[in-house]
Structure 1
Amino acid sequence: MDKLNVEIVNSCKGLDCISIVDWLQFFGAIGGAFLGTLIAGLVTLSSVKKQLVFARDMERKRELDNFIKVFTDISNILSREINYLEKCIEELKITNDTKRIVNLLKDLAVQLESKQDDLRRFDYVSIPPNLYMRISSIDSVMNNLIASFKKVKFEEDYIISESEKQKFIVTTEDICNNVKEFQNELIAKDEQSIAEIKRLDNKWNERTTGTLRDFVSKAFRRKKGGSR
């Protein structure tokens, strides 16, 4: 009698048919896909963040460039005004001629009005509010001086007293000192703006140089590894 060969086959149903190896491969594929997506997302997020920071820094640089231009233009106007006021003060000190003093004060009123017009032509929307307030303050002082100097009227034979003359000198010195102080503030702001622009330039120059250095270094390593 021939031997009966019997093959025993283990039966399975549903998830029981999936081996541990199959599970590992399945979760490995999902994990790899998730990790790849996560890394790509992080790289994209980092790139977008860097672009936003760069755009913000470039906008700040344009703002600072505008500050410097406005500061420089205003400072030039103030320099001419300071020179004029100092000459006027010196002349007031050495003359006792009433007519000459009256003419000096009239000329000073005209000069101040001219400088007011020059200062009012600037676009102050983009400059720091504290500087705008300072300019408004200077403008107000000039208005008061112009009004007081325009009121100076003496009769033909009037001789100005020393105390009256000193009053005009002190008043003119006050506005001169105000203008000098404001110019010094502008110079300080100008220097701060230039320093900040340099920091921004260095920040992005270093990043660009570092990226280029890394690229060259990696390329050199690949070339060296391939030649072995």
Structure 2
Amino acid sequence: MSTLALKDCKGKTLGEVALSDSFAVSDKGSQAVFQSVINYQAHQHQGSANTQGKGAVAGSGKKPWKQKGMGRARAGYRQSPVWRGGAVAWGPHPHKVRKKMPRKVARLAFARAFGERAADGGVTVLDDLKLETPKTKEITSLLKSLEVQGKALLVISEFDENICLAARNRQDVEVVCAETLNTWQVVRYPQILITKAAMEKLEKRVA
């Protein structure tokens, strides 16, 4: 059983927190992590691109000119895709991308990703996190105290307006609740700051 460092908001080490054995899946799950990330990215596509086929382009069905004797190529309708202002051949249309993934595979992917991040020393457990005011300098001071540089993911147990507002102006910091944390976020951020209460909820998710 591995352990994680337990710190307060001032960066002082308070002890260690045992990491559940459910995250110790280094011998399997790499393909599950890959598939989980692909599924998440696919679901982010809006699928709103739309083009007009020949049936949607305005215009009459009259033949532009007679078939023979004009010295020009044959033309049957003005909505032809080869003409300027005409239809688009095989263009995109609105659609939704939905890829299914078994729950056990998704749970394995999350456990593998989080376990690897913890093994790399990228997970720090905070005893508690409360902000008196929703100001950016509060989050900046927290990151400085914990010696965090670069992108970081802040995982909290439940929604806290002050924390979300304070981190909103920091492009390198994302705040997420433990219930909605996904594999893509774990893979994307090299450093994860998680409260002790949120850590307990994550352990229940993979148990």
TMscore range, shorter length: under 0.3
Task: Judging by fraction of residues, say which structure has more helix.
Answer: 1
TM-score (norm 1): 0.24
Q: Which has the larger radius of gyration?
A: 1
Alignment TM-score, normalising by the size of structure 2: 0.26
Tell me which of the two structures has the higher relative contact order, counting C-alpha pairs closer than 8 angstroms and 6 or more residues apart.
Answer: 1
